[in-house]
């Protein structure tokens, strides 16, 4: 999938624009509900241009259901509410005026039902109480920028123009009073809708654990809020004043029975460690650190790095690859080493063997039969599942044979989420079964970002009168053709190189996201 973008620019910038809007109580220029709704639509459209929706339709429906039930209790009933989960690995949720509330998929997956509902109620209250648009400049500047921004909202101006003006002038930070009001609103809306009114406190327990694990820095959801501990205390007092039972902060310990040793030394990307069981070169083990499980509910050893054994002596020597989600952490002496159960190997037609770490990610093709040019393979390895509870087989990379006579004659692309399991490290190769193979054209082999052009290695002759689509690889069965489309392109040149000009992008994609190894198809 595409590289992840931080969402905070949209939450803060969008709200910063609206600082220029006058509060409803000000006689200088009242902002009508319709103007707020119209501006919210423009901000929302820009967010969807820059970010992909989380593809889990059941999760989207669940958020809509919770949100609409909560929204029945708002004061400004004329505002229509909309709820979306965006595909992003940040720990974040935010809202914008006009009735739009967003979660990142990571936050959605980490929180449980009551916690999700509490956070949704908090964000709805920010909209309902006009917290963003009631943050204003002084009287004179407010009147000037109000006219400009509302004119832009009514016209067909791009959001980038509006954001460019506002981003230079304003920095948004909710007041303690606003945050307390949003927490009160979350409790009130949950009570009215028949949900657990303590959900926002349960969410705060997890936010604090995330904050502590990150070295004291709060996640983006509360980066400009009052300190988490202070908010926990306030919400606890609020619940008690309403006679609502305060849920205890239950923390469980979950030991891991697969410990085999301990790191004795670290040298760059290599480690030495002790082992209580015999290991062989090529074996994979895992360096773990003490932390929280995926849901921030249990203290447990957490996978930190993959280690592949190089040699065995009085200690075991191994190369390590740090898991991307914990890149800020460093493998260190005395960390523990584990050997959890591996899944049964994927059935394939060969493997990709390592040459050296300096080979730039290229491995040596070891196939059961000589490959054909333009054959396509997925590379499988054992990796951690989404909640890091067990190892599973999944595709870590994709390759297209470009020179059938060479052991390294292929165009590879690594799946970014599994960068800790490089595809050249003994991946099992499985031939790709593509139902759209007949219109597959070839892989991207070079990218001109400034010219918005791509060079491909074509498996067939292209036509200047046709439209082509650029797709990211089909990593699994859920990656349907339509979901994979990054953008469209037209033939630009066949002089020495076959070059396509990108003509449009799908929502959430840009030229910066296209990678060598992406697929190109002819449009039906």
Look at residues 273, 296, 294 and name the one whose alpha carbon lies nearest to residue 283: 273
- Mean pLDDT, to the nearest integer, of 163-190? 70
Confidence of residue 58 (pLDDT cuts 50, 70, 90): very high
The half-sphere exposure of 396 on its side-chain side, counting CA atoms within 13 A, is 24
pLDDT > 60? residue 13: no
Q: Which two tokens stand for residue 219?
A: 């996640």
Beta-bridge partners for 273? 263, 316
Closest CA to 166 of 352, 20, 285: 20
Inform me whether the pLDDT recorded for 462 exceeds 70: yes
Q: CA–CA separation, 199 vs 326, rounded Å? A: 28
Which positions ≥6 away from 92 have C-beta within 8 Å?
7, 8, 11, 103, 104, 106, 107, 219, 220, 221
Residue 225: pLDDT band by 50, 70, 90 thresholds?
Answer: low
Per-residue pLDDT, 408: 94
Burial environment of residue 27 by CB neighbours within 10 A (0 to 12, 13 to 18, 19 or more): exposed
The C-alpha atoms of residue 285 and residue 260 are separated, in whole angstroms, by: 9
Buried b (16+ CB within 10 A) or exposed e, 151-163: ebbeeeeebeebb
Highest-confidence segment of 48-52, 140-144, 147-151, 465-469: 465-469
CA distances from 363 to 172, 311, 342, 347, 518 (A): 49, 20, 22, 19, 19
pLDDT at 226 (0 to 100)? 59
Q: Give burial (CB, 10 Å; 0-12/13-18/19+) of 361.
A: middle
pLDDT by residue (tens digit) across 254-267?
A: 999 999 999 999 99
Paired tokens of 166: 């506002």
Question: Which range among 294-303, 318-327, 373-382 shows the weakest confidence by mean pLDDT?
Answer: 318-327
DSSP string, 89-149: SS--EEEETTTEEEEEHHHHHHS-HHHHHHHHHHHHHHHHTTTTTT----HHHHHHHHHHH
pLDDT single digits (tens) 305-319? 999 999 999 999 999
470 contacts 502 by C-beta, under 8 angstroms: yes
pLDDT at 161: 47
What average pLDDT score do residues 328-347 get?
Answer: 92
Between these two residues, 507 and 149, which has the higher pLDDT value?
507
Residues 438-448 as b/e (b if ≥16 CB within 10 A, e otherwise) read: eebbbbbbebe
CA distance 470 to 504: 10
State the average pLDDT over residues 467-489.
Answer: 94
Q: What is the mean pLDDT of the chain?
A: 86
Q: Is the Cα torsion angle 222, 223, 226, 232 positive or negative in sign?
A: positive
Task: Choose among 434, 440, 379, 372: nearest CA to 409.
Answer: 372
Mean pLDDT of the 319-346 span: 89
Query: What is this structure's pTM?
Result: 0.82
pLDDT in tens, 102-149: 999 999 999 999 999 999 999 999 999 988 777 643 343 445 555 555
pLDDT (mean) for 40-60: 89
Average pLDDT over residues 59-85: 98
**Cβ neighbour number for residue 421 with a 10 Å cutoff:** 25
Contact 124, 71 (CB under 8 A): yes
pLDDT of the residue at 64 = 98
Kindly indicate the confidence band of residue 230, based on its pLDDT and cuts at 50, 70 and 90. Answer: confident
DSSP 8-state symbol, 359: G
Cβ(73)–Cβ(121) below 8 Å: no
What are the pLDDT digits (tens) for 357-411? Answer: 665 567 999 999 999 999 999 999 999 998 899 999 999 999 999 999 999 999 9
Q: Give the residue-averaged pLDDT of 328-353.
A: 93
Place of tokens 């709060």: 218
Query: In which band, very low, low, confident or very high, does the pLDDT at 23 lie, cut at 50, 70 and 90?
Result: very low
Residue 62 has pLDDT above 80, yes or no: yes
| Spatial CA neighbour of 31 closest among 18, 50, 12, 48 | 18
Question: Which token pair is 145?
Answer: 């920028």
At 150, the pLDDT band (50, 70, 90 cuts) reads low
Tens digits of residue pLDDT in 438-456: 999 999 999 999 999 999 9
Which residues lie across from 9 on neighbouring strands?
none
pLDDT at 128: 96
Q: What is the C-alpha to C-alpha distance for residues 345 and 258, in angstroms, rounded to an integer?
A: 20
The pLDDT assigned to 383 comes to 97
- Site of tokens 């979901």: 483
The 10s digit of each residue's pLDDT in 152-169 is 555 555 444 444 333 333
pLDDT of residue 166: 33
Residue 73 has pLDDT above 80, yes or no: yes
**285, 339 in Cβ contact below 8 A?**
yes
pLDDT band at 40, cuts 50/70/90? confident
The residue with tokens 């959001």 is 159
Cα–Cα distance, 412 to 423 (Å, whole number): 9
């Amino acid at each position: 999938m595409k590289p992840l973008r931080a969402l905070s620019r949209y939450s803060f910038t969008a709200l910063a624009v609206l600082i220029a809007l006058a509060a409803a109580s000000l006689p200088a220029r009242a902002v009508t509900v319709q103007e707020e709704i119209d501006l919210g639509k423009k901000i929302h459209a820009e967010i969807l241009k820059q970010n992909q929706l989380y593809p889990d339709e059941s999760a989207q429906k669940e958020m809509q259901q919770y949100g609409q039930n909560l929204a029945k209790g708002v004061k400004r009933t004329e505002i229509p509410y909309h709820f979306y989960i965006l595909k992003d690995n940040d720990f974040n949720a935010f809202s914008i005026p006009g009735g739009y509330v967003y979660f990142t998929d990571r936050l959605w997956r980490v929180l449980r039902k009551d916690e999700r509902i509490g956070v949704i109620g908090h964000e709805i209250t920010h909209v309902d109480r006009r917290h963003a648009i009631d943050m204003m400049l002084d009287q004179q500047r407010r009147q000037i920028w109000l006219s400009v921004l509302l004119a832009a909202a009514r016209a067909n101006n791009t959001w980038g123009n509006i954001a460019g003006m506002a981003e230079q002038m304003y920095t948004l930070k909710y007041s303690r009073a606003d945050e307390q009001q949003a927490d009160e609103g979350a409790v009130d809306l949950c009570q009215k809708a028949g949900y657990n009114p303590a959900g926002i406190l349960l969410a705060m327990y997890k936010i604090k654990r995330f904050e502590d694990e990150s070295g004291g820095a709060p996640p983006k959801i509360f980066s400009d809020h009052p300190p988490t501990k202070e908010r926990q205390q306030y919400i606890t007092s609020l619940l008690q004043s309403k006679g609502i039972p305060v849920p205890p902060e239950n923390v469980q310990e979950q030991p891991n029975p697969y410990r085999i040793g301990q790191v004795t030394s670290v040298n760059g990307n290599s480690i030495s460690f002790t082992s209580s069981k015999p290991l062989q070169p090529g074996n994979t083990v895992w360096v773990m650190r003490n932390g929280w499980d995926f849901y921030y509910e249990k203290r447990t050893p957490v996978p930190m790095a993959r280690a592949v054994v190089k040699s065995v002596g009085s200690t075991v020597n191994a190369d390590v690859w740090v898991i991307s989600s914990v890149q800020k952490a460093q493998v260190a002496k005395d960390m523990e080493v584990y050997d959890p159960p591996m899944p049964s190997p994927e059935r394939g037609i060969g493997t990709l063997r390592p040459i050296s770490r300096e080979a730039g990610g290229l491995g040596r093709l070891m196939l059961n039969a000589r490959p054909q040019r333009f054959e396509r393979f997925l590379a499988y390895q054992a990796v951690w599942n989404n909640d890091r509870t067990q190892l599973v087989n999944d595709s870590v990379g994709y390759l297209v044979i470009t020179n059938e006579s060479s052991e390294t004659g292929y165009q590879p692309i690594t799946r970014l989420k599994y960068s800790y399991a490089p595809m050249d490290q003994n991946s099992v190769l499985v031939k790709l079964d593509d139902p759209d193979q007949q219109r597959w054209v070839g892989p991207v082999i070079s990218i001109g970002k400034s010219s918005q052009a791509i060079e491909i290695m074509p498996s067939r002759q292209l036509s200047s009168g046709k439209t082509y689509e650029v797709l990211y690889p089909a990593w699994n069965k859920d990656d349907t053709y339509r979901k994979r489309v990054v953008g469209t392109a037209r033939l630009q040149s066949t002089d020495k190189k076959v070059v396509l000009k990108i003509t449009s992008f799908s929502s959430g994609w840009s030229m910066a996201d296209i990678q060598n190894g992406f697929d190109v198809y002819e449009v039906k």
